[in-house]
């Protein structure tokens, strides 16, 4: 058996097309949603992420701007920037790209963002709304998981869902969203006893542990839907041989480039046992930015009536 691929690139394109149509409609009414990104310092990975977010904004017609303070910025200086953006009526969404330099109090900065403009969905007010069943702005990756299931034709209600990972960014909000859709949810983590046995109970398995290919066939109930949130870079040739020997083309590309991406789930085991699954790359990843665009549109509608 080989599972059905849940194609994140296709679903991303659907969502972006829908957002672009709604943004165009709002713009004709004189309202153009706006997104501001704060990129501190010159972290190369952060620069790529922000560039991709701004590119997506332009694509869907959202006005975007990037503020680039130096890596020497203090907490108070960054708080002043956030305060200005909170008061700027043309800005509907604010994102502060993490990680921030060591001297900056990240928690204090994220807490200072107006919850109505918190398009990352990390503010305690938005997390609280999600926990009490009245979600407003939801963290982007978990929101993307639900879109993936809905658009992939996967029934959530009444299913056993197991979430591997308890981070505030993915694990906890994913569990709350699944619970809100009437799944029976178990959250597992590094201290869970007999993790594999718990995971095997899942009709829907969400892997968000950040450990390359840790989830093997022992964790997967045959026929389960597997959502692999992990993105890990493999550089060891022996590890690549073990993981990709069943895919000669991917292995050849690894030897050519010296690295390859793998999720938290062993790809061969997932493809063999799951009824449907998200590949890495091209699965959950593309939806994160699409949901950021959707959150910015949601924030603009809510703020501007």
Domain identity same for 209 and 246: yes
Domain identity same for 67 and 188: no
In the chain, the number of structural domains is 2
**Contact in structure between 71 and 42 (CB atoms under 8 Å):** yes
120 catalytic, yes or no?
A: yes
Domain identity same for 95 and 216: no
Domain identity same for 151 and 240: yes
Domain identity same for 281 and 170: yes
Q: What pTM was computed for the model?
A: 0.95
Domain identity same for 167 and 243: yes
- Give CA angle at 55 (25, 9), nearest 5°: 85
Question: 40: domain range?
Answer: 29-113
136 catalytic, yes or no?
A: no
pLDDT of residue 1: 53
Domain identity same for 174 and 262: yes
State the CATH number of the domain containing residue 48. 3.40.50.10860
Question: Which of 92, 97, 203, 264 is labelled catalytic?
Answer: 97
14 catalytic, yes or no?
A: no
> 108-117: long-range contacts at Cβ-Cβ below 8 A with a sequence spacing of 24 or more?
108/75, 108/79, 109/75, 109/78, 109/79, 109/82, 112/79, 112/82, 112/83, 112/86, 113/82, 113/86, 114/86, 116/299, 116/302, 116/303, 117/85, 117/86, 117/91, 117/92, 117/93, 117/299, 117/303
pLDDT of residue 193: 97
Question: Which of 92, 118, 120, 203 is labelled catalytic?
Answer: 120
Query: Taking the chain (305 residues) in consecutive chunks of 10 residues, what is each chunk's mean pLDDT?
Result: 90 98 96 97 94 97 98 98 98 96 96 98 96 96 98 98 97 98 97 97 97 97 98 95 94 94 97 97 96 98 90
Query: Domain for residue 294, yes or no?
Result: no
- What is the Cα 45 distance to its own chain's centre? 16
């Amino acid at each position: 058996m080989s599972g059905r691929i849940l194609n994140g690139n296709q679903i991303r394109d659907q969502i972006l097309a829908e957002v672009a149509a709604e943004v165009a409609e709002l713009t004709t009414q004189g309202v153009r949603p706006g997104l501001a990104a704060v990129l501190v310092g010159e972290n190369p990975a952060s620069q790529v992420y922000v560039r991709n977010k701004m590119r997506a904004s332009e694509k869907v017609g959202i006005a975007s701007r990037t503020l680039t303070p130096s890596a020497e910025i203090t907490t108070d200086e960054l708080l002043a920037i956030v305060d200005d953006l909170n008061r700027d009526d043309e800005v509907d969404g604010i994102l502060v790209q993490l990680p921030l330099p060591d001297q900056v109090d990240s928690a204090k900065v994220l807490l200072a963002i107006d919850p109505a403009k918190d398009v990352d969905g990390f503010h305690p007010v938005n997390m609280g709304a999600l926990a009490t069943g009245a979600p407003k702005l939801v963290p982007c990756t978990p929101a993307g998981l639900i879109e993936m299931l809905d658009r992939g034709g996967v029934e959530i209600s009444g299913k056993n869902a197991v979430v591997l990972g308890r981070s505030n960014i993915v694990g906890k909000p994913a569990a709350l969203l699944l619970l809100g859709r009437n799944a029976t949810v178990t959250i597992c983590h590094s201290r869970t006893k007999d993790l594999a046995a718990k995971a095997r109970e899942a009709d829907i398995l969400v892997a968000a542990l950040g450990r390359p290919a840790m989830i093997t066939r022992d964790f997967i109930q045959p026929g389960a839907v597997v959502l692999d949130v992990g993105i890990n870079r493999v550089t060891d040739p022996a590890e690549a041989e073990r993981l990709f020997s069943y895919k000669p083309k991917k292995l050849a590309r690894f030897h050519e480039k010296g690295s390859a991406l793998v999720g938290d789930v062993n790809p061969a085991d997932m493809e063999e046992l799951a009824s449907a699954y998200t590949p890495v790359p091209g699965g959950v990843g593309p939806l994160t930015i699409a949901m950021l665009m959707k959150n910015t549109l949601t924030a603009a509608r809510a703020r501007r009536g």
